[in-house]
A and B are shown apart, each in its own frame.
Chain A
Amino acid sequence: NAGVTQTPKFRILKIGQSMTLQCTQDMNHNYMYWYRQDPGMGLKLIYYSVGAGITDKGEVPNGYNVSRSTTEDFPLRLELAAPSQTSVYFCASSYSFGVQGSPRGEKLFFGSGTQLSVL
């Protein structure tokens, strides 16, 4: 059971370039999330999805796009990379949320992260 898998682990981009961060999970989780972590800071939510075909903005969505065509995959797209997007990106998933009596389903499982530098 691989859990949440992110690729690539490291990437350096030039300003204005585009790239897609890949995320896939094999736990049949409905909910998926993208967070970013800046040095010495906590994580901030970029986008989230509550199921295939459904996505919504989090706290810091500007400069990013997502799609959710399958339950397993939740890629994050950077269209025009900027130095402010230099960060570590984490994908996460959970089975459910807001369902009474199933706290285990609300535990988030994280990928190992993608370290992105925009120069």
Chain B
Amino acid sequence: DAGVTQSPTHLIKTRGQQVTLRCSPKSGHDTVSWYQQALGQGPQFIFQYYEEEERQRGNFPDRFSGHQFPNYSSELNVNALLLGDSALYLCASSSLYHREGGEAFFGQGTRLTVV
């Protein structure tokens, strides 16, 4: 059973460019959340997708957008990249209907560097 998979693992972009990160959730999970983790910090919640809709959003600008597909996989898009967007982007999958006692499983992350 594959866990949460993210691609790519590393990415270098130039300031002002746009980037798309991808995530496939763990088998049986229907909810995908995205987190940004700056160096030395804990992950910060960006948003969550369930049933192909954004259900909740953290304190991130509109430059951050996402999508969930019918197979539950998800994309995170960031437009007009800033140097401060450099971070590890983590995808976490969970099951909305089994969330009692159910932990979120994290992918290995995408390390984004903006130069």
A in complex with B: no
